Structure 1
Amino acid sequence: MLEVRRATAQERRAISVVLATAFAADPVVRWLMPKAGRDVQMFRALTLHLHAAPACADIAFDNGEPVGAALWDPPGHSVSFRQGLVGLSRLFLAMGSGLRRGVVLERAFTRARPAGQLWYLAQIGASTQGRGVGSALLERRLASIDGPAYLESSNLRNVPLYQRFGFAVIEEISLPEDGPTLWTMLRR
């Protein structure tokens, strides 16, 4: 039975593992880090330091096992200088030379992100596909927030899922260096 709820601080490490599994074959993750092996470290840096707003992580369980997670940044969210420094240093340790592409990716995201106060879906993933985990995670959070929400989809197959929840594609981004395409999406 699927259960979705707000994650505790102690569950953020489990979220890192779920997201690493969910994104193992993701075009953007493999563009950033062609060899798998340090994905959990990368997602741990994102989960614990860079997208770590209190009460903004959701986790899905199936029969007590974590199977999905979502990280949201609330409107106006920013990390402290110290938290950002720790997060970036851990990203560097995980990504190595891929961090350069990570900077390119973040610049593209920053240029594309709409102005104004909005919820940002930083990460969402399920360790097993096609079981409604992503839908359950989106439904839970979107039912509880006011205002617009924004995301970048790194996989064209996921765009219809987001569209079912009211997101619309606003831009297509082609990354350089034979990088993959991303779709920015906004829910008003």
Structure 2
Amino acid sequence: MGVGIRAAGEDDRELVVRLLDEAFQDDPVSGWVFPEREYRRTTHHRLMAAFTDIVLAEGRIDLTEDGTACALWLSMPAADGDGPDGGGDPGAPDEADEADDAVRLRESVDPANARVEEIARLMAESHPSDRAHEYLWMIGVAPVRQGEGLGSTLIQHVLDRCDREGLPAYLEASSERSTNLYARLGFTFADRTLDIPDGPRMWPMWREPVTGAGRS
């Protein structure tokens, strides 16, 4: 599938926010964070904007050339002892940092909505930290283009680099249906679901690099 992919920049911020807002309006996790449909319609974009800003500053956003799909990635260091040089990263976030980040996220997005902070805490607590890896935080495809393989193409774009560099990859699938897509790309279920209190279930998935991929 001939899909052009480029790195998004600050000029693409509003496009990325709009893509994520449209793609995740009916997502089970978004529905839990913002249970009232009309309120979600008018407020959900703030959460997507916060996520976009974090990844623009700290990671990479891949965008299809036609602006119909995007993928948000973060390079996650090992908490201790498994960086590329065999040492841990002293700058890796600790639990206090993650708790502060969750509070700041709620205050910036929807101050009275405790679920914004809760979902951030739950995802941070469940995130693997023993090995450096690429983290697929979110992937959004315009509703009218879903089912065309754009998401798979965007993900494979980074997985090819992971294979060349010997890096694993990680994600949390927000629906059981989407786990099938990720399984086709080499991800496997991480043995334990992330069960949101009185809410939906998420499926953490891990992918080991394919040794020798992309090498002559």
TM-score tier after normalising by the smaller chain length: 0.7 to 0.9
Within the candidate set 56, 59, 62, 2:60 is matched to 56
Query: Is 1:165 aligned with 2:185?
Result: yes
Higher strand share: 1
SS in 2 for 1:179: coil
Query: Is 1:68 aligned with 2:73?
Result: no
Which amino acid in structure 2 is aligned with residue 45 of structure 1? A
Higher normalized contact order (CA 8 Å, seq sep 6+, divided by chain length): 1
> Aligned partners of 1:86 and 1:107: how far apart in 2?
9
Which amino acid in structure 1 is aligned with residue 126 of structure 2? A
Query: Is 1:44 aligned with 2:49?
Result: yes
Alpha-carbon contact 1:74-1:120 (below 8 Å) kept: yes
Within the candidate set 97, 120, 125, 2:112 is matched to 97
Cross-structure match for 1:82: none
> Aligned partners of 1:101 and 1:112: how far apart in 2?
16
Calculate the TM-score normalised by the size of structure 1: 0.83
> Aligned partners of 1:187 and 1:168: how far apart in 2?
6
Q: 1:167 to 1:88 in 2, by over 3 A?
A: same
Which amino acid in structure 2 is aligned with residue 71 of structure 1? L
Measured after TM superposition, the shift of residue 87 of structure 1 is 9.4
Q: Deviations over 1:39-82 (max 9, x none)?
A: 2221111111x2234661101244xxx21111101133869xxx
Measured after TM superposition, the shift of residue 110 of structure 1 is 2.5
Which amino acid in structure 2 is aligned with residue 130 of structure 1? G
RMSD: 2.5
Which amino acid in structure 2 is aligned with residue 52 of structure 1? L
Cross-structure match for 2:16: 15
Measured after TM superposition, the shift of residue 89 of structure 1 is 4.7
Aligned length, in residue pairs: 178
Q: 1:33 to 1:119 in 2, by over 3 A?
A: same
Aligned residues: percent identity?
29
Within the candidate set 178, 192, 196, 1:175 is matched to 196
- Unmatched runs of 5 consecutive residues or more in structure 2: 78-90, 94-99, 209-216
Instruction: State the structure with more CA Rg.
Output: 2
Calculate the TM-score normalised by the size of structure 2: 0.73
Which amino acid in structure 1 is aligned with residue 13 of structure 2? R
Alpha-carbon contact 1:53-1:72 (below 8 Å) kept: no
Cross-structure match for 1:153: 173
